[in-house]
Structure 1
């Protein structure tokens, strides 16, 4: 089965994606799990927060490009697409700025 990205306004096919076998999918998931286990989880929280902040900055820097993708794929108006890109950047910034707080062990006080 081939997956396609279609321009909702014109119906034109923008890109086709070949089907992935179950073995290839499992290999990709295993690679992501290895990357987490051998790299990401061992990074200090402050470094992870910097990476999230950098991703937010890149989204904002390339907002027109990413908004264009949203418009092509979902048919959103340009202004709404730019708002969606900004919202995504704001979410990344939120988690970056609260990373230390969110990583602290939670205590349960009971009832």
Structure 2
């Protein structure tokens, strides 16, 4: 027999149902838009690969680029940790976890 649903489970299931109805009513993206986006992405990737063999930045620009790349990684991973460990997500609330 199923355990009684908590209040948060009822709210979550109602929200999922609303999203499912909205998803089925939404218009689909035309095929030509997807094809154009794919072609543009492939063209941009090919251009960047070609440029990487022909452009040689000076050491100062390389140092700045390395710093910005490492800073972006730190900020991105820090944001993930902040969201995962934030008290508002309810992850640490022992009453929210099912006891079955």
TM-score (norm 1): 0.32
The structure in which a higher percent of residues are helix is 2
Structure with the larger strand share: 1
